[in-house]
Amino acid sequence: MIALVVVVEAVLVAPAVGGALTSLRAVDVDWLGVAVVAAAASMSMFARERRRLLLAAGVRTPARGSVVAVYVANALHATLPGGAAFSTAYSYRWMRGRGATAPAITWVLAAGGLLSTASLLALGLSGTLLAGGRVGLLQQGLEIAGILVVAGAARHLVRHPQLLRTACGRVLARANRLRRRPPTAGVAALDDLVVQLQAVRPRPMDWSVATGFALLNWSFDMGCLAACAAALHLHGLTLPLLLVAYTAGMATSGLSPLPGGIGVVDATLVLALVAGGVPVASALPVVVLYRLISLVGVVAVGWLLCVAEQVRRSPSAGRLHRQDSGTSQGTDTGRVKCRWLTHSAPRHSEMSS
């Protein structure tokens, strides 16, 4: 199925994309630099959002390591089939290595997803209001209200984990009866989960700061699109049109079977700009340049950072391997293996506030 989509897009879209790439020769270098900086700032804001949520869960992570982890996870998400599973697994292992518990990680990922979705919907709602439109206004308002209700319920459960313990305890008791297992089976694990959830105590300031970073994440990425338009001397791109077109494109990113939302996001952005009065011959080069920076460029940086991290660790790994092979069995070998494990684990001494 994916191969068929690739072939269809290559046949139908390639000529138009080729013409758009030709138009990039007239790009304004100064605005191109602004677009690159905006894309980098967007990734930095996403890393800060996750770092703040981890701090709310009692886990301090290094600033540089957080940014690197976000770039690598984004590269996995955008390039591999089923990339969401790979990027989530990578982020889980990274946070676990920094001392976060499994419940804390689950809370961070869920809270981050809710904040990002609510922030994107808020941008779209702002664009609709500025444009004076009424179509979809009620729907977007209901979606934001629904997300706020879910977020409030999640916050209430975090503050009162005994409610979760009671509800899950009843489900567990019924499951044990159906499976003919002892009534106490799984109770210890459930109690441990509740104890760990009690350690997650986000304050109102944590929610506010994380929400601000989520908004800045989308805003800087949208700024990258606006800078690309300026770099190609696009006229007629108003703020309401920019907000509506951008949120429409990002909202459809999960509908494409290809990594990175290829095909769907690009087409939605172009169609939204054209619907706002921008000629298609001018809209397509802007979208191509934006995607080259925000998708291809950011993914390339992510893979380069991933390779750099592996190269940085490999010399020490080789020395430890040689030391391991040259020592005798017993206590000395055990000490060498412990040093190998210590080197492989994240260095907590690098963590900063």
pLDDT at 107: 81
Which pTM was predicted?
0.73
pLDDT at 110: 82
The segments of the chain whose pLDDT lies below 50 read 1-15, 317-318, 320-353
Domain definitions of the chain by residue range: 2-96+209-350
pLDDT at 164: 60
* pLDDT digit string, tens, across residues 258-282: 777 788 898 899 999 999 899 988 8
* pLDDT digit string, tens, across residues 200-256: 677 889 889 999 999 999 999 999 999 999 999 998 899 999 999 999 999 888 777
- Per-residue HEC secondary structure of the chain comes to CHHHHHHHHHHHHHHHHHHHHHHHHHCCHHHHHHHHHHHHHHHHHHHHHHHHHHHHCCCCCCHHHHHHHHHHHHHHHHHCCCHHHHHHHHHHHHHHHCCCCHHHHHHHHHHHHHHHHHHHHHHHHHHHHHHCCCCCHHHHHHHHHHHHHHHHHHHHHHHCHHHHHHHHHHHHHHHHHHCCCCCCCCHHHHHHHHHHHHCCCCCHHHHHHHHHHHHHHHHHHHHHHHHHHHHCCCCCCCHHHHHHHHHHHHHCHHHCCCHHHCCHHHHHHHHHHHHCCCCHHHHHHHHHHHHHHHHHHHHHHHHHHHHHHHHHHHHHHHHHHHHHHHCCCCHHHHHHHHHHHHHHCCCHHHCCC
